[in-house]
Structure 1
Amino acid sequence: MKKSAQNLSSEKKTVKPVIRKIYDCLFATYGPQGWWPLTELHEARGTNPAKTGSTLGYHPADYTYPQTRNQQFEIICGALLTQNTSWMQVEKALLNLKRLNALSPEAVISLNSETLKEAIKPAGYYNQKTMRLKALACWFLELGGRTPTREELLSLKGVGSETADSILLYAFRQHSFVVDSYTRRIVTNLGLNDKKANYSEIKALFEENLPNDLAVYQEFHALLVEHAKRYYQKKSSYAKCPLLDIVQN
């Protein structure tokens, strides 16, 4: 799996050339990103020198996570908590939950709501997120170990397209491409989609041109985020994006 992530171009000859070139360029530039970060790996991992921001809990070139039920649930919690905030703030919230031994669905359900609110306060919108975390915990228990459908996830309170795809890709290891604001900025700037393209259209742009390789799906999304942090934070920097040379040639 690692091999295919490192060399997408050799895996699928029918891939739209520009998508293949973008992936190969980003991977060569930044290397494996090791998403989704987990609190259990804070001491053992997180030394990727090409990554901006938090480097704790990542597992570069290891696509075997999540390895446990609680790791799976932690990813689900993180996907919800990261709405409308930065990962740095989510990390603080998750570490607070870890200190309370509350990174399991059973613990979240049994935890006093006020205690839960205080724990996740760094991630913002803590009243709303507390209710939704408890609902997700109940839902996760009812799953009984099966993999949910995307439609099922979208039916849950507070779970939109990006959150659903993040949960499917990183918690349940499904080929479901995540489209965030960074990805939208990049593909729009590169002229790969219409400025008015909706989430589903951008998602299809990638899914229709990628091999069925979990590592590629995970790395591509993470690499786009890393790249955007360097070139798409300010509008004035968009023209400096090196990927423009790829799409223009």
Structure 2
Amino acid sequence: MTEYLGVLKEIFIEGQRYQYMIQGLSFSVGVTLFSAILGIILGILAAIMRICNFRPFKHSQNKKWKNWTPLTNLSILYTDIIRGTPAVVQLMILANIIFAGFRDMPVFLIAGIAFGINSGAYVCEIIRAGIEGLDKGQMEAARALGMPYHIAMKEVIIPQAIRKILPALVSEFITLLKETSIVGFIGGVDLLRSANIITSQTYRGVEPLLAVGLIYLVMVGIFTKIMRNVEKGLKVSD
């Protein structure tokens, strides 16, 4: 046991190689937070577009144009394309095609935008399902009391929807955290890339990978614990 502890010291402590892990951890967490915020914003906007039923030509005599809902169609197109393609493909396209002309653009920003766009599609479907899963009588009752549509959504529908969608959102953000491990494809030094750097210097591949897995496990456990407490608080407030 003492001998193996010496091996671990040689791998991580000597040469201050543990700093690679610290840098990778800060990169992964930073990208996750940035992507989560962007994903929530995009998801909310896409969900609103999906359920708003905006028809610019509703007074037209042409039935096709009368029922045309451009915002809903655009939201569906966005979610279908993003959910139908792998995140690594989206990351590579964004880095090597869309932002190919911006050579000085930080990898952190490219990764954050890519994962944020990816997460937004899933958040959109989570929010849409949560809102549409509520009893339609809730909105009808609110409108019958004289509430405008946006007030009814804010005061009646959204608070109830949040309680329903919170577990699914937690799962999405946990998935987002783990998805950041593919950012090495565009040169980002995340946790997994840090482990590869240590392996290239020490020729020890098992221990760095186990360390990365343990770090992810701890982070997911902490986040899950926090969100469970939030869920309990929401249930008590009911």
More helix by share: 2
In the superposition, the TM-score normalised over structure 2's length comes to: 0.28
Higher relative contact order, structure no. (Cα contacts within 8 Å, ≥ 6 residues apart): 2
- Name which one, 1 or 2, has greater alpha-carbon Rg: 2
In the superposition, the TM-score normalised over structure 1's length comes to: 0.27
